[in-house]
């Protein structure tokens, strides 16, 4: 929790034997926990975060989805914190940063899949989403539902090689089948966050709907309801859930198939929702929520294409025919302009598209338009042999950043590219260079702010396919 505009936090990365679901396993912990503390900050705050690495493998940190500078000492994912080293991160959050659910995790090149699977991820919340709720819902109970999954290797969480098709034990905040209490008719705010390395979830709560008020830290303009929600690795949904009659139901993830070259994730129960006690008069679910942001009519400064391919045995994954090289600049964009990007998936499995530093507006999926009122994300799925079109306004920050598939196995095996955001054609400094600190400019325009997210890399062999 931040105080007087500052959130100060220390995170030690350490391999420890801890509770993971119903088991005691060696995990890659933050501060000795498989599910580390949820960090909370407010727009305009400064986050000062000291990370110490006590694991014999390079690591670093990424604040997924946050609209902050990609330059050191902020969200630079090109750096490595070696064993025994300490690094001080400092992030100045713009006042315009959006309230919602974000997360933090390792983005170390080649190791992010192993490290996130091993436990190096947690939830970060930017307050105050409640400003948009009607008065009778402002004080509703809130639950963070951090989805983490683990595979077991002897007395440890398996970190390498990670096969995505192998069975995983799915937990909520690191707990096996925890209980969520509700009163009949009660409305709660649930923050659903897939903070695992690779797998998809398709959440379902029998007898209820998810009323979506936020996507990837972006409050939607119009609330919509869904009986199930597909949550790609890295994605988040803030939802209102209204309890029915007294009784017990399971929050579950339904079977989900990512394509013939992909994976079939089976059904699993995640949590037990127990409804009982004194009934509450069900509140009206709001239809309008956050401010509208729409780039549909923006002037487009440039158009770019990102094409995803992979080799036949699933050991290399490409963006525009190339695997990731941190020393190569793949895309250059200009500050304060709007661009339209087409992401084409030329493979037989789903991938996701994630960009750091700025969120984007999803314009269409396979040519079908998406409403601006629910179009903002930082991580979206690109259909098999299909495409998506997104628009982004590059706000506030210059510097080298990345875009990638957020299935971390794929990212670690090459599916990541470097984007350099420049001011008037001036290239950024070298990746690890001391570049100027990114200071937010004053002008966030009303049409299109946005944070974006990120992710890591790691390597590994054997597709998980
Ligand atoms: Cu992928």
For 66-132, the DSSP string reads ----SSTTSS-TT--B-TT-EEEEEEE--TTPPPEEEEEE---TTBHHHHHHHT-EEEEEES-GGGG
Domain boundary residue, one of 131, 164, 196:
131
Question: Does one domain contain both 380 and 267?
Answer: no
Ligand 1 centre from 88 Cα, in Å? 31
Ligand 1 centre from 415 Cα, in Å? 7
Reported as half-sphere exposure (CB side, CA atoms, 13 A), residue 219 has a value of 22
Question: Does one domain contain both 127 and 137?
Answer: no
CB contact burial 78-116 (16+ within 10 A = b; e otherwise): bbbbeeeeebebebbbbebbbbbbbbbbbbbbbbbbbbb
Ligand 1 centre from 375 Cα, in Å? 21
**294 occurs within a structural domain:** no
Question: Does one domain contain both 166 and 245?
Answer: yes
Ligand 1 centre from 406 Cα, in Å? 6
Question: Does one domain contain both 199 and 308?
Answer: no
How far apart (Å, rounded) are the C-alpha atoms in residues 124 and 174?
16
Question: Does one domain contain both 100 and 170?
Answer: no
Task: Report pTM.
Answer: 0.91
Ligand 1 centre from 402 Cα, in Å? 15
Question: Does one domain contain both 103 and 137?
Answer: no
Ligand 1 centre from 404 Cα, in Å? 8
**188 occurs within a structural domain:** yes
Domain with 151 in it: 133-275
Ligand 1 centre from 164 Cα, in Å? 11
Ligand 1 centre from 243 Cα, in Å? 36
Predicted local distance difference test score (pLDDT) of residue 428: 61
Report the number of distinct structural domains present in the chain: 3
Predicted confidence pLDDT, tens digits, the chain (465 residues): 788 899 999 999 999 999 999 999 999 999 999 999 999 999 999 999 999 999 999 999 999 999 999 999 999 999 999 999 999 999 999 999 999 999 999 999 999 999 999 999 999 999 989 999 999 999 999 999 999 999 999 999 999 989 998 999 999 999 999 999 999 999 999 999 999 999 999 999 999 999 999 999 999 999 999 999 999 999 999 999 999 999 999 999 999 999 999 999 999 999 999 999 999 999 999 999 999 999 999 999 999 999 999 999 989 999 999 999 999 999 999 999 999 999 999 999 999 999 999 999 999 999 999 999 999 999 999 999 999 999 999 999 999 999 999 999 999 999 999 999 999 756 665 444 333 333 333 333 333 333 333 333 333 333 333
The domain that holds 11 is classified in CATH as 2.60.40.420
Question: Does one domain contain both 266 and 149?
Answer: yes
**45 occurs within a structural domain:** yes
**445 occurs within a structural domain:** no
**376 occurs within a structural domain:** yes
**460 occurs within a structural domain:** no
Question: Does one domain contain both 241 and 115?
Answer: no
Q: In what order do the strands lie in the sheet with 39-41?
A: 39-41, 121-126, 100-105, 62-64
Ligand 1 centre from 310 Cα, in Å? 9
**311 occurs within a structural domain:** yes
Ligand 1 centre from 233 Cα, in Å? 10
CB of 179 closer than 8 Å to CB of 274:
yes
Question: Does one domain contain both 150 and 115?
Answer: no
DSSP 162-186: PPTTS--EEEETTBSS-EEEE-TT-
410 sits in which H/E element: helix 408-412
Predicted local distance difference test score (pLDDT) of residue 434: 37
Q: Which of 238, 208, 211, 195 is nearest to 376 (CA)?
A: 238
Ligand 1 centre from 385 Cα, in Å? 13
Ligand 1 centre from 198 Cα, in Å? 9
Ligand 1 centre from 350 Cα, in Å? 6
């Amino acid at each position: 929790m931040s105080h007087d505009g500052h959130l100060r936090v220390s995170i030690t990365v350490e391999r420890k034997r801890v509770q993971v679901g119903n088991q005691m396993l060696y995990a890659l912990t933050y501060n000795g926990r498989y599910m580390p503390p949820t960090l909370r900050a407010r727009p305009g705050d400064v986050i000062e975060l000291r990370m110490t690495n006590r694991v014999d493998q390079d690591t670093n940190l990424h604040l997924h989805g946050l609209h902050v500078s990609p330059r050191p000492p902020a969200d630079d994912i090109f750096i490595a914190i070696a064993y025994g080293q300490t690094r001080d991160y400092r992030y100045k959050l713009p006042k315009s940063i959006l309230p919602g659910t974000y997360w933090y995790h390792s983005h170390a090149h080649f190791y992010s899949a192993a490290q996130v699977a091993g436990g190096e991820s947690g939830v970060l919340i930017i307050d105050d989403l409640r400003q948009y709720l009607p008065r009778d819902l402002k004080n509703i109970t809130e639950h963070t539902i951090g989805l983490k999954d683990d595979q077991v290797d002897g007395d440890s969480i398996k970190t390498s090689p990670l096969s995505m098709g192998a069975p995983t034990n799915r937990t909520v905040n690191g707990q096996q089948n925890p209980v969520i209490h509700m009163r009949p008719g009660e409305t709660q705010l649930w923050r659903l966050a897939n903070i695992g390395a690779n797998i998809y979830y398709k959440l379902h709560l029998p007898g209820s709907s998810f009323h979506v008020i936020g996507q990837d830290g972006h409050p939607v303009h119009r609330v919509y309801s869904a009986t199930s929600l597909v949550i790609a690795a890295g994605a988040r949904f803030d939802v209102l859930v209204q309890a029915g009659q007294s009784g017990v139901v399971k929050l579950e993830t339904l079977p989900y198939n990512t394509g013939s070259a992909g994976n079939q994730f089976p059904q699993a129960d995640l949590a037990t929702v127990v409804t009982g006690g004194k009934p509450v008069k069900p509140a009206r679910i709001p239809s309008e929520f956050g401010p509208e942001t729409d780039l549909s009519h923006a002037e487009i400064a440039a158009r770019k294409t990102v094409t995803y391919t992979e080799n036949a045995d699933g050991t290399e994954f490409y963006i525009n025919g190339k695997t990731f090289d941190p020393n190569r600049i793949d895309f250059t964009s200009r500050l304060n302009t709007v661009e339209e990007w087409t992401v084409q998936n030329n493979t037989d499995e789903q991938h996701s598209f994630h960009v750091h530093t700025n969120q984007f507006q999803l314009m269409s999926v396979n040519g079908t338009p998406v409403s601006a009122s629910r179009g903002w994300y930082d991580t979206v799925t690109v259909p098999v042999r299909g495409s998506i079109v997104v628009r982004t306004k590059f706000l506030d920050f210059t510097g080298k950043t990345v875009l990638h598939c957020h299935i971390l196995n794929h990212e670690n095996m090459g599916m990541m590219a470097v984007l350099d955001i420049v001011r008037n054609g001036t290239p950024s400094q070298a990746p690890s260079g001391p570049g100027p600190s990114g200071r937010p400019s004053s002008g966030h325009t009303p049409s299109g702010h946005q944070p974006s997210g990120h992710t890591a890399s790691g390597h590994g062999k054997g597709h998980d396919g």
